[in-house]
Structure formats: structure tokens, C-alpha cells
Amino acid sequence: MGLGQLLDTIKIWAESVVSTMGYPGLTIIMFLENLFPPIPSEIVLPLAGSLTLTGRFSMPGVILWALVGALAGAYFYYGLGKLLGEDRVRWLIGKVGKYLMVTTDDFDKSIAWFNRYGELVIFFGRMVPIVRTLISIPAGMASMNLLSFTFYTVLGTTLWNVVLGYAGRLLGQNWRMVAEWIDYYQNVIIVLGVLAVVGFFVYKLRQRRQTSAA
């Protein structure tokens, strides 16, 4: 079986799990998606969003249960980075990375992103394939504050879930078009995500100033 056939098989399996198991299946797939990059949220979440039109799911349920699975996967890699450290993680990826379709170059990229952008990369890294899988490891290696890690992970993941879930709902039976659209406009989505979190912080800052003035 070639790589393309394998990826197609994985996608079909992920779709089947979500369709047949409901919310638990969605949570499981989103957990595995954060461990195993070939399982694409760009497929799973639009499918779940489209199923809200049939009453199979509700949009709040899709967003919440997908978040639970993604957060569990992020904690797994955070713990791995904190427990093992860079050298052991690099050795581990060298040994088993090919089975997860992750390379040491991917790992180096995630470290470079974390060193360059700091904690904010935990937010917008959730919207970048491969990076969203590995970015939790350098956060764990750096012993990033767990509350901050959780906050940025929840914020970035929720935004991603909302975008993909509602896109699937809007497209209905054409939900598979979302994955193609993401391939072309992913950088735009990242920029919009960064602007959203900046706007959030500005809003909170103004609230604090107004409270202090009062």
C-alpha cells in the first residue's frame, strides 16, 4: 500500500469513527489527531459540522468534545517534552517518528517557532499541520506555565474548531471542500487567528482600565 492509499484509508477510518460513535468518536479522533498528524482535523471537524444539519451533533457539542480530545493530546506531548527533554525526544522521533510520519526536521521547526514567538506560538501553532502536533513538546521542555499553556491551547483550538465546524455546516454535503480551502488559505487563517487573540487582549486590557477608573 502506497503512502497516498494509506492516508486515504486513515481519512476514511476517521470519518467512520466520527459518524458511528458520535461525540466519543470525535473526542478519540481529535486526541489521536494531536498524536498522529496524518489524521487531519481539516476532514474530521467539517464532517462533524455537516452532521449538525441532520441533528446527529450540535455545534456547541462538536466544539466542546473536539476541544477535550485535542487538549488531552496536547497534554500528552507537553508531558513528554517535560519528562524526556530535547535529546531523548529527538532520539525517540528518530526511532519511531516514521511510523507517526513525523521527522526530526519537524521537531526542529517546532522548537524554532517556540524560541522565536514564545508562548503565543501555542495559540497560532494549533492551526498549522504538524506544528500543532509537536509544538507542545518544546513548551514542556521549557516548563512553560501549565495554566498559560492550557489557556493558549484552548483559545487556539477552539478558534480552529469553530472555523472548521461551521464551515462544514455551511457547506453541508460538500464539507470535503473545506480541506481543499484550508490548503490554499491556511496562512490567512493564522493571521486572522493572531489578530483575534490580540483583539481579545486589547479588550481585556480596556476592561481592566475601565474597572480601575471606576
Q: In this predicted model, what pLDDT tens digit does every residue of 39-73 receive, in sequence order? A: 777 778 888 888 888 888 899 999 999 999 999 99
CB 157 within 8 A of CB 70: yes
CB 121 within 8 A of CB 145: no
The range of the structural domain enclosing residue 54 comes to 3-213
> What is the pLDDT confidence band of residue 185, given thresholds at 50, 70 and 90?
low
Of 136, 140, 175, 137, nearest in space to 156 by CA: 136
Q: CA 26, CA 116: separation in Å to the nearest integer?
A: 33
Report the percentage of the chain scoring pLDDT > 70. 78
How many domains does the chain fold into?
1
Determine how many CB atoms are found less than 10 A away from the CB of residue 207.
Answer: 10
Q: CA 188, CA 175: separation in Å to the nearest integer?
A: 20
Q: CA 194, CA 212: separation in Å to the nearest integer?
A: 27
Tens-digit pLDDT profile for residues 131-164: 777 888 889 988 899 999 999 999 889 988 888 8
